[in-house]
């Protein structure tokens, strides 16, 4: 099989043996379990059966959560490499792992009581339980501070009312980490469990993106949530926003996987496909595309590696993470779109991954903060002036 170098600046030299082993095991999993079936699931808009348990079995759920709670106790570079390999398979697979790890296990590990951690984390790590994260609402996406979902204190329980929208995996989730306002208007986090009276999670149909995973709503109609399900150690919007830092960091790595999958496909095709008596890879215009893809992938890899080392030292700022998420997702979606052109007509069929990656990345460039929201976060960091409101 032809080897295509996607480590142009020898970043592998900066990785440990453990990082490389983790990456290889997830790459093997994706090659065996995801790539052969992903086109069919995307076409049919169906989940990959048992995906969460399979991800749990390879240690891809909560990789950086301590082993005591069922995690793998790995560092942030390993987490990033896992996301990269999963998204080379499909953004829907990475999304499922992102949400479970960074948006469900992370807040429980960070903000829950010891009892709550022991109750939920090990089962989430193994994939026995599937979690989802409810922040976005029908009327409040980019501006979650405006959320209307609220709860009132009723002694030993609270009563929750409201709705969340665009929630990854909500239709198949056993538990939902939900952010809602108390009577004083403070944002609090809690776990709402499937089966609680008044709680439903209808699916959002007709998506043209992330078709191999489910997205839906969370609807709360006078749901009685026991007080022991509320996280004791967090109050305010920084609770959910801190989870986003972890997920956005993972996305910065993940999308490199999608870009590499498109790049490798385009290089191979350009050497095999002949027009005007030459492989199309012999034409300068096609070489320009390939050279720019590899340059952009390399820049994204370096950004992520450095961000990962900062994150390991707990020094990565939310603004640095925003810059990486914004830059890398744009890099990946541009490569998916441009590389499709190298395949001509063949680029539009499901035998090749570009259309699927490009369609998936339309969600990725929107969720976890839109492309423009991340630009405004950088703009505010530069000028000190808030241009949101
Ligand atoms: P602002 O006044 O700036 O901040 C409120 C409080 O939060 C703190 N904070 C952060 N803390 C930790 N990490 C961050 N990234 C933080 N950003 C802000 C801040 O210090 C403050 O703390 P305190 O102690 O002073 O109260 O908040 P704002 O209301 O002005 O909003 C800022 C803005 C617009 C940047 C923010 O709300 C935002 O990021 N909006 C985008 C919303 C978003 O990204 N939603 C994502 C939903 S989840 C999702 O999409 C999952 S997709 C999953 C998948 O399938 O992979
Ligand atoms: P809006 O906020 O309405 O934005 C619309 C447009 O206006 C965007 O282009 C935006 O950039 C722009 N805009 C908004 N404000 C400003 C401003 N101040 N200045 C300039 N431009 C602005 N959320 C969850 O909580 N949990 C999940 O699991 C989850 N999964 C998702 C899965 C999918 C497939 C998708 C598509 C979304 C998911 N989301 C989830 C929601 C996602 O985070 C939101 O869609 C996103 O934050 C944007 O919110 P919105 O869709 O309401 O767009």
373 lines ligand 2 (CB under 6 A): yes
- Atom of ligand 1 at shortest range from CA of 169: 55
For the record, the structure tokens of 177 come out as 């980490």
d(CA 291, CA 27): 24
| Nearest C-alpha neighbor of 123 from the set 77, 65, 201 | 65
| Tens-place pLDDT, residues 2-30 | 789 999 999 999 999 999 999 999 999 99
| Tens-place pLDDT, residues 160-203 | 999 999 999 999 999 999 999 999 999 999 999 999 999 999 99
Residues 290 and 338 sit within 8 Å (Cβ to Cβ): no
Which residues lie across from 152 on neighbouring strands? 159
pLDDT, residue 2, reads 79
11 alpha carbon to ligand 1 midpoint, in Å? 31
String of DSSP letters for 46-69: -PPTTHHHHHHHTT-SSTTS-GGG
Give the largest Cα separation in the chain, rounded: 80
Detail the DSSP E strand segments found in the chain. 131-134, 150-153, 157-168, 175-181, 187-193, 199-200, 215-226, 274-275, 278-279
> Which protein residues touch ligand 1 with a CB less than 6 Å away?
95, 98-99, 133, 135-136, 142, 144-145, 168, 236-238, 241-242, 244-245, 247, 318, 367-369, 373, 377, 388
| Nearest C-alpha neighbor of 132 from the set 17, 197, 213 | 213
| Tens-place pLDDT, residues 296-311 | 999 999 999 999 999 9
| Tens-place pLDDT, residues 230-287 | 999 999 999 999 999 999 999 999 999 999 999 999 999 999 999 999 999 999 999 9
| Nearest C-alpha neighbor of 262 from the set 337, 174, 360 | 337
d(CA 162, CA 157): 17
pTM of the full predicted structure?
0.98
CA 54 to chain centre: 17
210 lines ligand 2 (CB under 6 A): yes
46 alpha carbon to ligand 2 midpoint, in Å? 24
pLDDT, residue 231, reads 98
pLDDT, residue 232, reads 97
pLDDT, residue 358, reads 98
| Ligand showing the shortest atom-to-Cα distance for residue 110 | 1
| Tens-place pLDDT, residues 28-70 | 999 999 999 999 999 999 999 999 999 999 999 999 999 999 9
Q: What is the dihedral of CA 182, 185, 187, 191, to 10 degrees?
A: 20
pLDDT, residue 74, reads 98
For residue 73, name the pLDDT band (cuts at 50, 70, 90).
Answer: very high
Residue 368 among the catalytic residues = yes
| Nearest C-alpha neighbor of 251 from the set 145, 73, 93, 139 | 93
Residues 218 and 134 sit within 8 Å (Cβ to Cβ): yes
pLDDT over 90 percentage in the chain: 99
CB within 8 A of 325, min separation 6: which ones? Answer: 248, 249, 251, 252, 368, 369, 374
- Atom of ligand 1 at shortest range from CA of 389: 30
pLDDT, residue 234, reads 96
pLDDT, residue 254, reads 99
CA 237 to chain centre: 20
């Amino acid at each position: 099989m032809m080897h295509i170098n996607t480590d142009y600046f020898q970043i592998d030299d900066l990785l440990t043996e453990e990082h490389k082993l983790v990456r290889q095991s997830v790459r093997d999993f994706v090659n065996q379990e995801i790539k052969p079936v992903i086109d069919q699931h995307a076409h049919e808009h169906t989940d990959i059966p048992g995906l969460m348990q399979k991800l749990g079995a390879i240690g891809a759920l909560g990789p950086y959560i301590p082993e005591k709670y069922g995690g793998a106790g790995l560092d942030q570079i390993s987490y990033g490499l896992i996301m990269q390999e999963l998204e080379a398979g499909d953004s829907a697979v990475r999304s499922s792992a992102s949400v479970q790890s960074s948006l469900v296990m992370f807040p429980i590990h960070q903000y829950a009581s010891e009892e709550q951690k022991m109750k939920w984390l090990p089962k989430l790590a193994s994939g026995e339980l599937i979690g989802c994260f409810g922040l976005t609402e029908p009327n409040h996406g980019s501006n979650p501070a405006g959320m209307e979902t609220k709860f009132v204190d009723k002694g030993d329980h609270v009563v929750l009312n409201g709705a969340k929208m665009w929630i990854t995996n909500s239709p198949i989730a056993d538990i939902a980490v939900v952010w809602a306002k108390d009577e004083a208007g403070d944002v609090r986090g809690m776990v709402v469990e499937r089966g609680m009276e008044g709680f439903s999670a209808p699916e959002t149909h007709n998506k043209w993106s992330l078709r191999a995973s489910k997205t839906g709503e969370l609807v709360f109609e006078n749901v009685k949530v026991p007080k022991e399900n509320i996280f004791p150690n967090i109050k305010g919007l920084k609770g959910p926003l801190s989870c986003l830092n972890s997920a956005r960091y993972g996305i910065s790595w993940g999308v490199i996987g999608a870009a590499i999958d498109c790049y490798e496909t385009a290089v191979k095709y350009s050497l095999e496909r002949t027009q005007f008596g030459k492989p199309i890879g012999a034409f300068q215009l096609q070489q320009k595309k390939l050279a720019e893809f590899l340059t952009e992938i390399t820049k994204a890899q370096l950004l992520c590696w450095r961000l990962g080392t900062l994150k390991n030292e707990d020094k990565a700022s939310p603004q640095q993470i925003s810059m990486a998420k914004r830059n890398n997702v744009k890099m990946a979606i541009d490569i998916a779109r441009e590389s499709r052109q190298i395949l001509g007509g063949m680029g539009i069929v499901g035998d090749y991954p570009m259309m699927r990656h490009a369609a998936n990345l339309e969600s990725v460039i929107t969720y976890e903060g839109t492309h423009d929201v991340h630009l405004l976060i950088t703009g505010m960091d530069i000028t000190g002036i808030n241009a949101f409101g």
